A and B are shown apart, each in its own frame.
Chain A
Amino acid sequence: MYKWLDERLDLQRLNSKLFRKAFPVHHTFFLGEITLFAFVVLVLTGVFLTLNYEPSIREVTTPDGQKLPAAYASILYIDSLPFGAVIRSLHHWSAHIMIAAAFLHMIRIHLSGAYKKPRELNWLVGIGLLVLAIVTAFTGYALPFDNYAITATKIGYEIGAAAPWVGGLLVNILFAGEFSNTNTQMIPRLFSIHVLWLPLTLIALIGLHLLIMVKQKHTQPKYAERVSPGKILGVPALPSQGIMAGILFLVYVAVTTLIAGIFLAHPVQAYGPPTANTPAVKPDWYFLWIYGILQMIPSNWKFELLGATFGPQFWGGIFVPTLIILGAAAIPFIDAQPHKQRYLELPSQHPGRTSFVIGMLMFYIMATLAGYKIDLNLPNALLWVLVLFVPILTGVVAYVILRAFYGKAPQEPQVGGLQGSAADD
């Protein structure tokens, strides 16, 4: 059997070329894999959901005589199926985990300098993937068609519409016209984008991301430089790396299923079908910082230019996020170097970069805190101080501390020691 396949597919060559590729081991290298696992689970659970979900707002009568929009009723139906609610929750939590893991993966790359030449391109693909994953999650918001989902999506719709010049066209295409509880084309449109177009794009980009990674080889961890300088260190992709990944995947599925079983995500009955009453909505954690900034922007920040309005919605919802995305994309080009990066760098030896990352995380935390402005009764001036100055302060303090602790240590203790002893001889 193996021989038969080998003669036709040249498995031996494939094995030695691809599957024996050395893959270095470090616990932080699994963050990208977890992102991928979350995506696989999302696709699998998503397939199950599409089979029972009805993307329509036509009025249906449930067995107990309630008149409900079909999309909402089909969510209730899914929840009533064996393990239906668990699978729906698994889909929901995996979306959170995918975005969180991708974000942590990105921080790991940033902290260890893995974005440097020749990997700038894959850094850009990665940013594209993170943004796309968030957009995909957003297009899934409205599908349960409950009051909460509709309110949250409406806010996103208007933020999209606030994009200068192209906003109107963009939301018209995404939402099939005006956002309204009675727009019959909106849910089918969002459904198609959420289950077909964005996942296909994600699959293509994930493929590209992995292909570039295999082609360029995974960056070598710092310890490899000490253990065997100039050599590629790692375990073969198959079977060793494959077995590790396989075990990790099973652990991932087990843990998330447990979570999904205990915590039912987004109980639609708690909100009911859409009405004119707005529930107090809070976006998911990965939007909370934008939500916070939206509330801080003063209402008079507004001007018109060439027929486009630049209002507070634009500054909070479009300008700040775009600036951050562009800033992230620029990192490998600002921190450029002529030679190729072979080994990862230790965060402790790059205090400037490390404290910048810490400062950015503080910015994210402070902007998220601003999302609780109304609940905590925080004055706007205080929030501005928190969002602008606390991250800078944190960065400076982190820099000073890192310098104090690691600044005087020699760059390469072991190698230096060896050289020193050799010179003594």
Chain B
Amino acid sequence: MEHTEHSIDPVQEQQEHIQRRTVLQAAIGVGVGLSVLSTLYVGVGFIPKVVVTPEKEPVKAGDILVWAQGAKAGQEITPADLQAALKSDPPFIIAYPKNPENNVVKNQLATNTIMVMQLEPSSLSPETAKYAAQGIVAYSAICKHLGCTISQWKNNVWHCPCHGGEYDPRQGAKVVAGPVPGPVPQLPIKLEGNRIVATAGFLFKPGADV
């Protein structure tokens, strides 16, 4: 019976095996898990960091509306400009907000693109008139459908050339045609001398409604 004394108990041997296996399995599991996690962490780099520069701040109360493009780009829009625009096509002006404190034109945020237009004051709905000044209205120019700049005037309303969305700027940009899911937000403004000044940010969220 010398033999049995020296040999390891088979049950005990199996238990040791199981322990070793669990430890190894746990080690592999942790290793794989950490690798996956760190790979995912690399994936975070796919989404760029958003740095809000002064040019990218959203429009807010006190901002002055300036020409977005053309020969006068960057200059303040005056009521006389809007009157003159009525005779051109389109009869409105695309504007960006300018921060009066640092004179920075906030043109690097797409949703800061604004339509300004002089309308007949009596044609405005009461709700729209509340945020207008002497018939001058301002709205976000980014179509609620798929984000084009609504830059045309057709059928006596505001027309988006991308899929034919139409908005009536006299009635809070109510959608009158096309696949557009809702109106664009109005920008409350007032006149300060010859300047058109925002009295608040957009009434609700601008940009495509997706």
Contact = CB atoms under 8 A, between A and B. Distances in A.
Interface of B: 46-48, 50, 55, 68-69, 94, 107-110, 113, 141, 145-152, 160-164, 175, 178-182, 208-210
B110 A179 contact: yes
B181 A311 contact: yes
6 contacts: A154-B146, A157-B147, A158-B145, A278-B152, A295-B164, A299-B181
Contacts, number: 107
A295 B178 CA distance: 7
B110 A181 contact: yes
Given A151-B148, A180-B110, A279-B161, 9 more contacts: A177-B50, A276-B141, A277-B94, A278-B148, A278-B150, A281-B162, A299-B179, A311-B210, A313-B210
A314 B110 contact: no
Nearest to B68: A276
Contact of B47 (A172, A291, A313, A316): A172
Interface of A: 151, 154-155, 157-159, 161-162, 167, 169, 172-173, 176-182, 185, 275-281, 291, 294-300, 302, 309, 311-314, 316-317, 373-374
A154 B46 CA distance: 19
Contacts of A154: 146-148
A276 B164 contact: no
B113 A276 contact: yes
A313 B181 contact: yes
B210 A373 contact: no
Contacts of B50: 177-178
Contact of A374 (B48, B146, B164): B164
Contacts of B178: 295, 299
Contact of A278 (B110, B160, B164): B160
Contacts of A177: 47-48, 50
Contacts of A296: 179
B175 A299 contact: yes
Contacts of B181: 299-300, 302, 311-313
A316 B55 CA distance: 34
B161 A281 contact: yes
A298 B47 CA distance: 33
Nearest to B94: A276
Contact of A173 (B47, B55, B68, B69): B47
B83 to A, nearest CB: 21
B51 to A, nearest CB: 10
Contact of B209 (A157, A275, A309): A309
The 5 closest A-B pairs by CB, nearest first: A162-B210, A158-B146, A182-B108, A158-B147, A276-B94
B108 A294 contact: no
A278 B162 contact: yes
B12 to A, nearest CB: 51
B69 to A, nearest CB: 5
A185 B210 CA distance: 22
B110 A159 contact: no
B131 to A, nearest CB: 22
A275 B68 CA distance: 9
Contacts of A291: 163
B179 to A, nearest CB: 5
A373 B148 CA distance: 18
A159 B208 CA distance: 10
A296 B146 CA distance: 14
A281 B152 CA distance: 13
A313 B109 CA distance: 22
A173 B46 contact: yes
A2 to B, nearest CB: 48
A278 B136 CA distance: 23
A169 B178 CA distance: 28
Nearest to B175: A299
A243 to B, nearest CB: 46
Nearest to B160: A278
A177 B161 CA distance: 25
A298 B162 contact: no
A159 B150 CA distance: 17
Contacts of B161: 278-281
A9 B117 CA distance: 77
Given A177-B47, A276-B69, A374-B164, A295 B179 contact: yes
A408 B68 CA distance: 71
A167 B147 CA distance: 15
Contacts of A311: 181, 209-210
A294 B146 CA distance: 10
Contacts of A157: 147
Contacts of A159: 146, 210
A367 B163 CA distance: 14
Contacts of B149: 276-278
Nearest to A156: B146
Contacts of A185: 48
A313 B107 CA distance: 27
B118 to A, nearest CB: 19
A155 B47 contact: no
B164 A373 contact: yes
B107 A176 contact: no
A312 B162 contact: no
Contact of B210 (A161, A169, A172): A161
B145 to A, nearest CB: 7
